[in-house]
Amino acid sequence: MRILIVGAGAIGGYFGGRLLKAGRDVTFLVRPRRASELAQHGLVIESPAGGVVIPSPPTIMAEKIEGPFDLVLLSCKAYDLAGAMNSFAAAVGPGTMILPLLNGMRHLDLLSERFGRSRVLGGHCLIAVTRDPRGAIVHLNESQTLSFGELDGERSDRIRAVDDQLANAGFDARLSDRIVQGMWDKWVFLATLAGITCLMRASIGDIMASAGGERSIISLLEECRAIAEGEGYAPAAAVLERILGTLTAAGSPLTASMLRDLEANAPVEADHIVGDLLERRPVRITSDREPCWLSAAYTHLKAYETRRTRSPGPDSPAKGRG
């Protein structure tokens, strides 16, 4: 199976590097600067699960793509999706599968509109990675899960073929019959985490130590959970308990990568992570006595984007998403 990894940033570089080391047929679709960097220094992964160094990994630029790949793995930020789709369009043929690892759900519609829904798989990952100033990919903890599946949950021949390629490649690959539910579960968690830490400009531990902090977190989580329920994807009780435990852990240093982007004056995924969820709210969820935390978080992020257009800063280094 010919696999095209769109980009060689933190997430794409990590999973692509593991697949290369495991002997899979992987090519990275990159821009000239990253191609030069990889040619000079190689693909370097530093991880508690074991380091990887691949001198001169296979790369290609968009204008050089001459035929279809079997699998396209996509891990860009949501605001880069349109450009990414243009860059790999020539790699999509009749049998090509597209496996996106973006957060939220809007990208599924955009990819389906461009390439056809039959080519799009569901996926999400649980990993914390970043790139250091040298361009090396640094794995920050032990989590390295990539979940994937058919959007309708079918165990098709093609998804089994993907499973064969991703299995035993140095990370935790999980074929899921309920991948869309898993994507919603992660979205509920991430929208709450991003919304509250960006709105308060603080970690979970600092918010929990503040007056009204725990109540604010729980209220925002309930808003997000209720929207998921309205869409038919309410988190199971055990999942919700796990999310709540993570989001209310005393002393936790946890923040969303969106907050780190915001603090670096970099672009943020406000519309894709928070705005799209807010648009799916069918009725007013909160009472007149309770603030709408999701709406407040979205307004806060959009105000940041408005200010940033007057004084844009450099894009932050590629970061992984938890």
- The amino acid occupying position 304 is Y
Phi, psi dihedrals of residue 73, rounded to the nearest 5°: -100, 120
What is the per-residue DSSP string for 230-250? Answer: HTT-PPPHHHHHHHHHHHT-T
Distance CA 119, CA 184 (A): 20
What is the rounded CA–CA span in Å between residue 198 and residue 288?
A: 24
In this structure, is the dihedral angle defined by the CA atoms of residues 268, 274, 276 and 278, taken in order, positive or negative?
A: negative
Catalytic residue selected from 64, 186, 302, 319: 186
**CA distances, 317 to each of 62, 133, 150, 303 (Å):** 22, 8, 31, 22
Rounded Cα gap, residues 245 and 294, in angstroms: 20
Distance CA 129, CA 145 (A): 12
Classify each residue of 160-180 as buried b or exposed e, where b means 16 or more C-beta atoms within 10 Å of its C-beta.
Answer: eebeebbeebbbbbbbbeebb
Does 21 qualify as catalytic in the annotation? Answer: no
- The region that residue 153 occupies, defined by phi over 0 for left and psi between -120 and 50 for alpha, beta otherwise, is left
Alpha helices in 64-170 (DSSP H): 81-88, 106-115, 157-166
Q: Torsions phi, psi of 214, nearest 5?
A: -65, -40
The single-letter code of the amino acid at 133 is: P
Largest distance between two CA atoms of the chain: 60
Positions marked catalytic: 186
